[in-house]
Amino acid sequence: MENLHGIKTVDRDFIQVEGEDAKSFLQSQCSQDIEKIDEKNLSLILNPNGKVVSLLRISKFKDGYLLDLDRGAFDVVNDRLQKFKIRVKVSIQKANFNVLRSSDLTLLMELRERLQLNEFLVVPFRWNEYEAFDLFFEGEIDSKCAEFSAFDRISIGFPRFGNEIDESTIAQEIPGLVENCVSFTKGCYTGQELVARVDSRGSNVRKLLTSFEVKKSLPYSVLPGSKIKLSDTKQFEITSFTATDDQGGIGMGFMPRGVNFHVLPEKLLINDEIEVFVKFSPFS
């Protein structure tokens, strides 16, 4: 089969949740209202202390639900769900699907017909201004598709497990996370208290995810964990970065509270050694 322009592969982990109590179980564990996942399908799994375990998407599937999450997040999410599976009739199992993404639903459905898929799922993906559709299916695809790359992800500001999200993350530190993933009208769920308390206090947090662009060439690739010096006491923590064709790059990281990035000098130091031109852009 020829190359498929306009369709990209996406690397995801999957968890299948089934059983008599699947709906009520997920309702008690997810920040999103399971009753309304046809309208909003993104959710958070939180620890009891309210810190983010993972960002995931919930879809109705067969007699239960399918959770898709960042590749590499399966173990931590599975462990977290299994820990709270107490006296409920629920099966939690790993599932395997390929994922193809396109902003053109017609193109994606035409591909499904050409592949003669009998079992599949089409799920919307929305983040900030970006809208697309994902095709979940089992089996292989005899085609060469581009990958939904780090550049694609960073361009739309979508946080990733292990980069922007770890055991220390508070939901309000990532713009869009609460708006897209949290219901304030559903019943109680594990970890709810911290999210509600920070929201009631105006969502004031110690750091905020921000995008940035390096406008001049770099002598080396910038790795997550690198720091951009903002002042003698404050640093910008880089969580994701990818190079661009002009040998600059784009990335994301956490801007500490109290920094006015509008008055920062254009030239800043990365890792206290390389002076580069940096432009910061907050996520709306």
Domain spanning 207-282, CATH architecture: Beta Barrel (2.40)
Residue 217 has a pLDDT of 67
Instruction: Give the predicted TM-score (pTM) of the model.
Output: 0.92
Decide whether 1-202 matches 207-282 in CATH topology. no
How is domain 1-202 classified at the CATH fold level?
A: Gyrase A; domain 2 (3.30.1360)
Enumerate the domain spans of the chain: 1-202, 207-282
For residue 155, give the H/E element and its range: helix 150-156
Residue-level pLDDT, tens digit, the chain, 284 residues: 444 678 999 999 999 999 999 999 999 999 999 999 999 999 999 999 999 999 999 999 999 999 999 999 999 999 999 999 999 999 999 999 999 999 999 999 998 888 888 889 999 999 989 999 999 998 777 667 889 999 999 999 999 999 999 999 999 999 999 999 999 999 999 999 999 999 998 889 999 999 999 987 676 678 899 999 999 999 999 999 998 877 789 999 999 998 988 899 989 999 888 888 999 998 86
Q: Nearest to residue 134, comparing CAs of 158, 160, 104? A: 104
Residue 1 has a pLDDT of 41
Instruction: Transcribe 215-271 into DSSP letters.
Output: -S--SSPPPTT-EEE-SSS-EEEEEEEEE-TTS-EEEEEEEETT--GGGS-SEEEET
**Residue 189 buriedness (CB in 10 A; 0-12 / 13-18 / 19+):** buried
Q: Which ranges of 30-73 would DSSP assign to H, the alpha helix?
A: none
Residue 71 has a pLDDT of 96
Residue 2 has a pLDDT of 47
Residue 158 has a pLDDT of 97
For residue 180, give the H/E element and its range: helix 177-181
